[in-house]
Amino acid sequence: MKKGLSKTSLNQLITYGIVIAAYIILQALRSAGMMTSHLAGLLVPMTYYAIAAVALNFCVGILGELSLGHAGFMCVGAFSSAIFSNVFKETLPGGLRFFLAFVIGIAVAALFGFLIGIPVLRLKGDYLAIVTLAFGEIIKNVLNAVYLGKDSKGFHVSMTNSMALGMEEDGKVIINGAMGINGTPRDANFTIAVIVLLIVLFIVQNMINSRDGRAIMAIRDNRIAAESVGINITRYKMLAFTISAAMAGAAGVLFSHNISTLQSTSQYFGYNVSILILVYVVLGGIGSIRGSVIAACILYLLPEMLRSLNKYRMLIYAIVLIAMMIINWAPAAREMRERFFAKFRKEAV
Amino acid sequence: MKKFKTIVSVTMAAAMSMALLTGCGGSSAPAAPAASAPAEAKEEAAKEEAPAASSDATFKIGMIGPLTGGAAAYGQAVQWAAEIAVDEINANGGINGYQVELKCEDDELDAQKSVNAYNTLKDWGMQFLNGSVTSACSIAVSEETKIDNMFQITPSGSAQDCTNYDNVFRVCFSDPAQGTASAQYIGQNKVASTVGIIYDSSDVYSSGIMENFVKEAANQDFEIVSSEAFTADSKTDFSVQLQKAKDAGAELVFLPIYYTEASLILQQADAMGYDPIFFGCDGMDGILTVENFDTSLAEGLMLLTPFSADAEDELTQNFVKTFQEKNSIVPNQFGADSYDAVYAIKAACEKANITPDMSVSDICEAMKTAMTEITVDGLTSVGMTWEASGEPTKTPKAVIIENGAYVTAE
Amino acid sequence: MLSFLQYLISGLSLGSIYAIIALGYTMVYGIAKMLNFAHGDFIMIGSYVIFTVVTTLSGGSIPGLLVAIVCCTLIGVTTERIAYRPLRGAASPLAVLITAIGVSYFLENLALLVFGSDTKSFTPVVSWSGLVLADGKLRIQGVTIITIIVSIVILIALQTFVNKTREGQAMLAVAQDKGAATLMGINVNRTISITFAIGSALAAVAGALLCSAYPSLTPYTGAMPGIKAFVAAVLGGIGSIPGAMIGGLCLGIVEILSKTYISSQLSDAIVFGILIIVLLVRPTGILGKNIQEKV
């Protein structure tokens, strides 16, 4: 038992080690001026997609429920924090404001996760997946139609257009419907993103090895057996789903504070983005937290690194994706690998 | 299982290093030694190296737009037109005697990827940016060009916020200009007394024009009887929007949208026997060139556009001919805006005597003044000038489609 | 009242398109138990083939459709062989879902390279303009009527095929339990190949009708109708062929009516909201069977 424990904690430490080592190397390269500005600009997005992938993996791999709506949680996290930051842009100092933006983004995403979890977690399998997709699309569609303004009298909300807000002269439109939020302070940087990633990893890895985590995984493996030993199914499912949503919200906060414009449209928060995050999770290995981080980084970088291929870029990306999936997942490919390694081991002995 | 993980990471690492290699190969190879220095804003280094390298130095223009994905048609039009402009300039001796290089990067209509594309171009040594094609991407990139003090001219980023900074100019009309101008045109020429609107509520361009149109309509002598939206996720069926406009008795339907959706709207209106006046903005240009489209459906369509592919002047005809030869389609206003953007860069460079060995920031400073002093006779307008705010001064031209061709409306 | 009827007819025309796509979707989904995200792109490829035959080569609509059916069948079977079959029996059913997304990217970007990004206007396969009732106040488009007839024919044909033929029975067996089917002497690979062949051929038919009703064609034409048809298939009950048809029609009608009477801006949200409510009341869709959980 003791040996087992040290093995898991070693495994955890390796994950932190990889992230910290990657951080140190990349920062060193950057400060030495050896990094292209292209790569430097990719660091933060890469990290927030890694966070989103860890969040989704917690839902898919640990809780065992397929969610296709995690982009929706990113969306609420991004919007709520961006609203906050825009309102207090002049009145609060940068560091404190960004910290509070995180608190708000995470809290709102968690609240949405909780509320959506109540109906969703009663369903199973593909039906659950499609309902999460539906919620994600609803969030995106509704935020796309919202107008929010602030003047001396307080906040004004409208669903028609910005004139309908009825604001005074000094009023400022914060969410301008489809045009979204412009001018969010760009508080995010690579260091903060990596710290958030480490915190998320810490929470997930400790959660997995805790009493709660074991209960959640017991539900995943056999719901009826878990219920019969007295595990409160609803409570643990809700707990895991809410945490997963909150972490996706944190990724959303980084998203909205890394770029000055934020719109609630398909290319940022549609179901296809949820699926993109799922690609990271599956390629990295379902249930493997470290795998999610690595896969998210590689798959985010891949199309960027293929830029020199011009118009063939996305075609090659698609082929690489299919090939990687078959190499990593096909039973035949696995068998071949095992045979190869068995031979290798024999020779070594 | 552990072995499996090792294999996974090895495969991934291999894939990544391969990708990194191809990425580096692509970006570093064409970079001339003199040009890579100003990109990193190391002005001193540039000054030292410049004299030796100046004879074979080139101007580097970057272009960003959606080259894949649903908006690829617009991005590719900008890319191809810019290529034509650059080829022409090079064939005629370049700018101030220096040849021009062009590099186009894809942003997939995603603001973050647009910034990534900008950074790639910066690494390449870009000195002028012709982009981004779409509004939201252009706004996001302008935050970066502001910091780097890089000259940016967006061919078609029409949202008001695109030109928030003094280093950003645009070729197209702004959304407010188009929305207001459309409402004024309809009101002053008494085109109709009841107006219906169909717009794309998930699109920045469309919502921007719609909002300004509604604002100005309050001052005009017509009434908006229906205003219906569609979104990027449901843009095949327009029967409801059309039926509502019809039931409300709209004599004119205002379509501040792109021609792709408009072609469907015209077909569906025809199928349901509804025949109002349709009125569009510059995004409507291109409707006559949709392959296999029954142009008789567009008969009587009015639009405010700065460009028409069948204009008689020599400049337009040559451009359209070259564009068609190269890409086998007729260019639309996205292409025309991009072509003018490249020539505006050329004119301003010549005005300010800019040379490629200057730093990005110095070029930008010189361009800021020069842009306000030049006059460009382009595809989208004759005698275009720019204000320091970045807005072009040109008047939208109202055209009406008769016998499958644009005719200037009175 | 008349205007309500007209809206209902509009809903029916949109719904019939969703239904015919959903039929092909549910075929693969119900039997191979895999979500073929690339199905919408098979539709797009089929439409481009018809467009090429009809417009560029000036062949007729019917030869175009036949060529498209052959092409789509080949693409479907090849895709299954190369990209999906190796992953059968993988540790997680999600693996093949991700590959399907890869195939979807691949087909879209291939079409972008081959056919270009510009919109093509599709010549409708159905040239009949339709019925006009009640002094021109009610219009039913020809393509709507044809689509509904074709959907019903396909529905009956599929039901007969699945229930009455040996191959169909084999499909049902594979859908139930691949291992047991193998033991009974059924060639699982062959059966799934046939499923893909049928599903892809239906995609070509759906493409022809989709683009006849909404005649604009780009490399991304199939993506959104594809996902909506998937939603329709789930709404009707996964694996149920009549369910796919009913789900498609319901989805179309709900979409049009919510646009009409509630909000055109929020219609997507309303449609998905109704989907959620239906699934909460009937957790396995309208016609889905409730499978008892075994201990």
pLDDT, one tens digit per residue, over B118-174 is: 999 999 999 999 989 999 999 999 999 999 999 999 999 999 889 999 999 999 988
Q: Is residue B47 domain-shared with residue B128, that is, in the same domain?
A: yes
| Average confidence score pLDDT of chain C | 90
Q: Is B76 on the interface with C (CB under 8 A)?
A: yes
With cut-offs at 50, 70 and 90, classify the pLDDT of residue B42.
Answer: very low
* Strand B392-393 with B385-386, pairing: antiparallel
Mean pLDDT of A122-149: 90
- State how far the Cα of B80 lies from the Cα of B72, in Å rounded to an integer: 12
β-strand partners of B336: none
DSSP B248: T
Contact: B11, A259; criterion CB under 8 Å: no
So what's the pLDDT on residue B22? Answer: 41
pLDDT(B347) > 80: yes
Q: What are residue B393's phi and psi, to 5 degrees? A: -105, 105
Contacts of B75 in chain C (CB under 8 A): 117
Q: What is the pLDDT, as a whole number, of residue A220?
A: 92
A302–B16 C-beta distance less than 8 A: yes
Does the beta carbon of A111 lie under 8 angstroms from any beta carbon of chain B? no
Res. B31: pLDDT tops 60 = no
Minimal CA separation from A246 to chain B, in Å: 22
Gap between the terminal Cα atoms of chain B? 76
Q: Compute the distance between CA of residue C198 and CA of residue C72 in angstroms, rounded to an integer.
A: 10
Would you call C98 and A325 a contact, using CB atoms and an 8 Å cutoff?
A: yes
Q: Of B280, B305, B330, which one is at a domain's C-terminal end? A: B305
pLDDT of C178 strictly over 80: yes
Cβ C202 vs Cβ C67: under 8 Å:
no
Share of chain B above pLDDT 70, in %: 86
**Alpha carbons within 13 A on the beta-carbon side of B117:** 29
Strands B397-402 and B302-305: antiparallel
| Cα dihedral across residues B368, B369, B372, B378: positive or negative | negative
Query: How many contacts does A have with B, using Cβ atoms within 8 A?
Result: 150
User: Would the CB atoms of C14 and B237 count as touching at under 8 Å?
Assistant: yes
Q: Which tokens belong to A254?
A: 């980084």
Q: Give residue A345's pLDDT band: very low, low, confident or very high (50, 70, 90).
A: confident
pLDDT score at B397: 78
Residue count of chain C: 295
Cα gap B303→C156, rounded to integer Å: 49
Nearest CA in chain C to A133: C272
What average pLDDT does this structure show over A300-325? Answer: 91
- By the 10 Å C-beta count (0-12 exposed, 13-18 middle, 19+ buried), B1 is classed as exposed
Average pLDDT over residues B348-362: 93
Q: What are phi and psi of C158, to 5 degrees?
A: -65, -45
C295 closest CB neighbour out of A135, A224, A325 = A224
Count of B-C CB contacts under 8 Å: 102
Residue B120 lies in a domain: yes
- Band of residue A280 on the pLDDT scale cut at 50, 70, 90: very high
What average pLDDT does the structure give for chain B? 84
Q: Is residue B2 part of a domain?
A: no
Is A152 part of the contact surface with chain B (CB cutoff 8 Å)? no
Q: Which has more confidence, A337 or B262?
A: B262
Of these ranges, A167-176, B262-271, B284-293, the one predicted with the greatest mean pLDDT is B262-271
Q: Among all chains, which residue has been given the structure tokens 């909002």?
A: B211
The answer to whether position B406 is within a domain reads no
pLDDT tens, residue by residue, C103-115: 999 999 999 999 9
Percentage of chain C exceeding pLDDT 90: 57
Residue B70 DSSP SS3 = coil
Burial B333-364 (b: 16+ CB within 10 A, else e): bbbbbbbbbbbbbbbbbebbebbbbbbbbbbb
The CA-atom distances, in angstroms, between A135 and each of A129, A288, C233, C291 are 10, 26, 18, 25
Q: Where are the domains of chain C?
A: 13-225
Nearest CA in chain A to B25: A308
Q: Would you tell me how many other CB atoms lie within 10 Å of the CB of residue C169?
A: 15
Q: How far apart are CA C38 and CA C44, in angstroms?
A: 10
Task: Grade residue A173 by pLDDT with cuts at 50, 70 and 90.
Answer: confident
In chain B, whose CA is at the least distance from the CA of A140? B202
Q: Taking 90 as the threshold, does the pLDDT of residue A27 lie above it? A: yes
Contact state of B233 with A137 under an 8 Å Cβ cutoff: yes
A312 touches chain C (CB under 8 A): yes
CA distance A159 to A101: 25
Residue C208 Cα, gap to closest chain B Cα (Å):
15
Q: How many CB atoms lie within 10 A of CB C74?
A: 12
Q: To the nearest whole angstrom, how far is the Cα of A283 from the nearest Cα of chain C? A: 8
Residues C119, B291: C-beta atoms closer than 8 Å: yes
| Contact list, C279 vs chain A (CB under 8 Å) | 123, 127, 130-131
Contact assessment for residue C222 and residue C207, using Cβ atoms and an 8 Å cutoff: yes
B378 pLDDT higher than 60: yes
pLDDT score for A310? 80
Cβ-defined contact of A119 to C280 (cutoff 8 Å): yes
User: In 3D, which of B329, B303, B334 has the Cα closest to residue B400?
Assistant: B303
pLDDT at A293 over 70: yes
Alpha helices in C138-287 (DSSP H): 142-164, 166-176, 178-183, 188-213, 223-236, 241-261, 267-281
Mean pLDDT of B337-365: 94
Average pLDDT over residues C26-42: 88
Confidence of residue C72 (pLDDT cuts 50, 70, 90): very high
> Looking at chain A, how many residues does it have?
349
Q: Is residue A343 pLDDT above 50, yes or no?
A: yes
Nearest-neighbour CA in chain B from A234: distance (Å): 32
Higher pLDDT, B39 or A239: A239
Greater pLDDT, A117 or C264: A117
Cβ–Cβ contact A11 with B under 8 A: no
- Minimum-distance CB partner of A123 among C88, C231, C279: C279
Chain-chain contact of B22 with A327 (C-beta, under 8 angstroms): no
Concatenating the DSSP letter of every residue in C167-181 gives HHHHHHHHHH-HHHH
Any CB–CB contact under 8 A between A233 and chain C? no
Contact A97, A184 (CB under 8 A): no
Angle at the Cα of A147 (from A141 to A153), degrees rounded to 5? 150
Chain C residues in contact with chain B using a Cβ-Cβ cutoff of 8 Å: 3, 6-7, 10, 13-14, 51, 55, 109, 112, 116-123, 129-130, 136, 139, 141, 214-216, 218-220, 224-225, 255-256, 259-260, 264-265, 267-268
Query: Which stretches of C74-137 are assigned E, i.e. beta strand?
Result: 120-121, 131-133
CB-based contact C231 A134, cutoff 8 Å: yes
- Select the residue from C21, C92, C104, C121 to test the B interface by mutation, using most B Cβ atoms within 10 A: C121
pLDDT at C287 exceeding the cut of 90:
no
Contacts of B26 in chain A (CB under 8 A): 307-309
Say if B33 falls within a structural domain.
no
Q: Are the beta carbons of B239 and C122 separated by less than 8 Å?
A: no
Residue B41: pLDDT above 80? Answer: no
SS3 category, C139: strand
Q: Which residues pair with B370 in a beta bridge?
A: none
Give the mutation candidate from C18, C44, C264 for the B interface (greatest B CB count, under 10 A): C264
The answer to whether the Cβ–Cβ distance between B236 and C121 falls below 8 Å is no
Q: What is the 3-state secondary structure (H, E, C) of chain A?
A: CHHHHHHHHHHHHHHHHHHHHHHHHHHHHHHCCCCCHHHHHHHHHHHHHHHHHHHHHHHHHHCCCCCCCHHHHHHHHHHHHHHHHHHCCCCCCHHHHHHHHHHHHHHHHHHHHHHHHHHHCCCCHHHHHHHHHHHHHHHHHHHHCCEEEEECCEEEEECCCHHHHCCCCCCEEEEEHHHCEECCCCCCCHHHHHHHHHHHHHHHHHHHCCHHHHHHHHHHHCHHHHHHCCCCHHHHHHHHHHHHHHHHHHHHHHHHCCCCEECCCHHHHCHHHHHHHHHHHHHHCCCCHHHHHHHHHHHHHHHHHHHHHHHHHHHHHHHHHHHHHHHHHCHHHHHHHHHHHHHHHHHHC
Q: Are residues B192 and B255 in the same domain?
A: yes
Question: Mean of the per-residue pLDDT values for chain A?
Answer: 90
Token output for C19:
């239904």
pLDDT band at A164 (very low <50, low <70, confident <90, very high): confident
Chain A residues near residue B214 by CB distance under 8 angstroms:
161, 163
Bridge partners (DSSP) of residue B154 are: B170
Neighbours of chain A (3+ CB pairs under 8 A): B, C
User: Confidence class of residue C56 from pLDDT cuts 50, 70 and 90?
Assistant: confident
Contacts of B238 (CB under 8 A, 6+ apart): B198, B230, B261, B264, B265, B268
Angle at CA of residue A125, ends A119 and A128, nearest 5°: 30
Domain that holds residue B219: 176-305
Across C267-285, average pLDDT:
89
Please give the average per-residue pLDDT across C273-286, as a whole number. 88
Residue B160: inside a domain: yes
As to burial, measured by CB atoms within 10 angstroms (0-12 exposed, 13-18 middle, 19+ buried), residue B409 is middle
C119 Cα to chain B: minimum distance (Å): 6
- CA gap B36, B42 in Å, rounded: 9
Other CB atoms within 10 A of residue C93 CB: 15
Phi, psi of B64 (to 5 degrees): -125, 135
| Burial state string for C200-223 with b = 16 or more CB within 10 A and e = fewer than 16 | bbbbbbbbbbbbbbbbbbbbbbbb
Is the pLDDT reported for residue A132 higher than 80?
Answer: yes
Angle between the C188-213 and C142-164 helix axes, to the nearest 10 degrees? 170
Phi, psi of B153 (to 5 degrees): -130, 120
Residue C38 has pLDDT above 90, yes or no: yes
Of chain A, the percentage scoring pLDDT greater than 70 comes to: 98
Residues B210 and B179: their CA atoms lie apart, in Å, by 6
- The one-letter amino acid code at C198 reads I
Any C CB within 8 A of A62 CB: no
Which tokens is C272 given?
A: 């998905």
Best of A307, A310, A320 to disrupt the B interface by mutation (most B CBs within 10 Å)? A307
Buried b (16+ CB within 10 A) or exposed e, A29-41: ebeeeebbbbbeb
Taking only the tens place, the pLDDT of each residue in B215-246 is 899 999 999 999 999 988 888 899 999 999 99
Residues B297 and B366 in one domain: no
Please name the residue of chain C whose CA is at the shortest distance from the CA of residue A145: C265
How far apart, in Å, do the first and last CA atoms of chain A sit?
A: 30
Chain C residues inside the 8 Å CB shell of B272: 139
Identify the pLDDT of residue A115: 96
Residue B9 above 80 pLDDT?
A: no
- The values of phi and psi at residue A151, to 5°, are -135, -165
Of A273-277, B20-24, C90-94, give the lowest mean pLDDT range.
B20-24
Lowest mean pLDDT among A31-45, B50-64, C138-152, C251-265: B50-64
Query: Token pair for residue B322?
Result: 């070259």
**Across residues C190-210, what is the average pLDDT?**
94
Query: Token digits for C81?
Result: 């062989």
State the nearest Cα–Cα gap between A336 and chain C, in angstroms. Answer: 13
Query: Smallest CA–CA separation between C81 and chain A, in Å?
Result: 12
B54 with B166, same domain: the answer is yes
- pLDDT score recorded for residue C211: 93
Residues B233 and B143 in one domain: no
Residues C275, A3: Cα–Cα separation, whole Å: 50
Least CB–CB distance from C109: residue in A271, A283, A318: A318
- Which residues in chain B touch residue A311, judged by CB atoms under 8 angstroms apart? 67-68
Residue B28 has pLDDT above 70, yes or no: no
Q: Flag whether residue B260 sits within 8 Å of chain C, measured between CB atoms.
A: yes
Look at residue A9 and tell me whether its pLDDT is greater than 90: no
A209 touches chain B (CB under 8 A): no
Kindly report the nearest CA distance between residue B81 and chain C, in angstroms.
Answer: 15
Inform me whether the pLDDT recorded for B50 exceeds 50.
no
The CATH code of the domain that includes B246 is 3.40.50.2300
The per-residue b/e assignment along B2-18, b for 16 or more CB within 10 angstroms, e otherwise, is: eebeebbbeebeebbee
Residue B19 in any domain: the answer is no
> Is pLDDT at B282 greater than 90 in this prediction?
no
Q: Are C255 and C275 in contact (CB under 8 A)?
A: no
The whole-number pLDDT of residue B266 equals 93
Q: Answer whether the bond into residue B132 is a cis peptide, omega within 30°.
A: yes
Number of domains in chain B: 2
The confidence score (pLDDT) of residue A5 equals: 54
Pick the CATH number of A44-311 from 1.10.3470, 1.10.1220, 3.10.20, 1.20.120: 1.10.3470
Question: Which of B70, B271, B293 lies nearest to residue C141, judging by beta carbons?
Answer: B271
Q: B221: burial class by Cβ within 10 Å (0-12, 13-18, 19+)?
A: exposed
Instruction: Look at B240 and C136 and tell me if their CB atoms are within 8 Å.
Output: no
Structure tokens at B216: 């100005």
pLDDT at C160 over 90: yes
**Side-chain half-sphere exposure of A185, counting CA atoms within 13 A:** 20
CB contact under 8 A, B68 and C123: no
Whether chain B has a CB inside 8 Å of the CB on A324: the answer is yes
Above 70 in pLDDT, residue B77?
yes
Q: Which residues pair with A262 in a beta bridge?
A: A181
